Copies of this chain bind each other. A is one copy, B any other.
Amino acid sequence: MDPNKSFKHLPHKTIERLSQYRRALLICLNNGKSHIFSHEIAQIQHITSVQVRRDLMLIGYSGTLRKGYNIQELIDLIGEIIDSNEGINVAVVGMGNLGRALINYFSGKRHKLSIVAGFDTNPDKIGNYMNGVECFSVEDMHKIVKEKDITIGIITVPASQTTEICDLLVESGIKGILNYTPKPVNVPDEIYLEEYDMITTLEKVAFYVKLPDEAPETKQSKARP
């Protein structure tokens, strides 16, 4: 990769799509495909082929005319852009249903991202392993975060505990937080924060479902020629 090339200024949305492209490409690779056309990627992601080509243009990847893109090469390039060289260690705080679902989901995936610790306050959970991930006491967070070089924390505790846990993560020296509880949090500027609440998504689906004719084109319908 051209070392002068910087990917700092890629659009937010492109970053998200690159991650999705890779996910789809890995599946295609497993199915024995070696090349793929922009319109094939587009169909999988419910977007237009123009958008795919534009994204790939932005990251400077060229395909072969009439043959498409080399899947392996593209996977590698996306990796160079969005993965960190050293790998990033992640912790899940709150080993309940959602926390376990996330750990389950992650285990066995390659990825430069690994969940390397869980935290909980429930004594019955502390010390247990879940898919190879040990559960520690939140009291040891400081120590474990340092020891295991954890840079991202995922919050899946009950909403009432969210603020406290978020502050604890920040104090422990975490760099990014992904908050899955419905309670919004505040973090210092230098910490990257994403919040996701399923109810928002579901209410959005409900809104468009109840507007029978006027529903906006979905990504999928727009993607059709």
**Which one of A195, A196, A224 has the highest number of Cβ atoms from chain B below 10 Å of its Cβ?**
A195
Asked whether any CB of chain B lies closer than 8 Å to the CB of A77, the reply is no
Which of B16, B96, B215 is A192 in contact with, Cβ under 8 Å?
B215
Q: Mark A206-225, 1 if CB is under 8 A from B, else 0.
A: 11111100111011110010
Contact A198 B44 (CB under 8 A): no
Contact A96 B101 (CB under 8 A): yes
Contact B200 A218 (CB under 8 A): no
Asked whether any CB of chain B lies closer than 8 Å to the CB of A67, the reply is no
Contact B207 A82 (CB under 8 A): yes
A90 surroundings in chain B (CB, below 8 A)? 202
A23 surroundings in chain B (CB, below 8 A)? 182, 197, 199-200
Chain A interface size, under 10 / 10 to 19 / 20 to 34 / 35 or more: 35 or more
Min CB distance, A10 to chain B, in Å? 9
- Given pairs A46-B184, A109-B199, A178-B205, 11 additional interface contacts (CB within 8 A): A8-B214, A15-B207, A27-B183, A97-B101, A105-B198, A105-B199, A112-B206, A113-B199, A187-B220, A189-B221, A194-B201
Chain A interfacial positions (CB closer than 8 Å to B): 8, 12, 15-16, 19-20, 23-24, 27, 43-46, 81-84, 88, 90, 96-98, 100-102, 104-106, 109, 111-113, 151-152, 154, 175-178, 182-184, 186-187, 189, 192-211, 214-216, 218-221, 224
